[in-house]
Amino acid sequence: MSALVGQRVRELRKTRGISMSFLASQVGIASGQLYKLEVGERMVTVDDLAQLTAALGVSATELIRRPANGPVRWRVRGDITVTKSRRAHGG
């Protein structure tokens, strides 16, 4: 779940034009820790989630939901990322 939250945080941060250093200061963590959170190398704590939702102006549900479409990426090791495509189901 942390990797999905990190991807969502990065997406929202960039969409809103917020710098990594500014968001990190709002959340109360170092920029390096925010980077690790965004790339899935740092676990998201409950405190992080609360601070991120406040700083980004979104609900926790918006941060932890899976994307409706598009690929989902998991970092398996530092140098390996697995991507799973999402396919629409007909019926």
In a structure prediction context, what are the per-residue pLDDT tens digits for the chain, which is 91 residues long? 678 889 899 999 999 999 999 999 999 999 999 999 999 899 888 898 999 999 999 998 888 876 665 555 554 455 554 444 444 444 4
* β-bridge mates for residue 75, sequence order: 81
Return the half-sphere exposure (C-beta side, CA atoms, 13 A cut-off) of residue 81: 11
Tokens of 91: 């019926």
Amino acid letter at 30? A
Q: CB–CB of 27/55 below 8 Å?
A: yes
What's the confidence (pLDDT) of residue 78? 52
What's the confidence (pLDDT) of residue 30? 96
The overall pTM is greater than 0.85: no
What's the confidence (pLDDT) of residue 63? 84
- What is the dotted CATH code of the domain comprising 2-84? 1.10.260.40
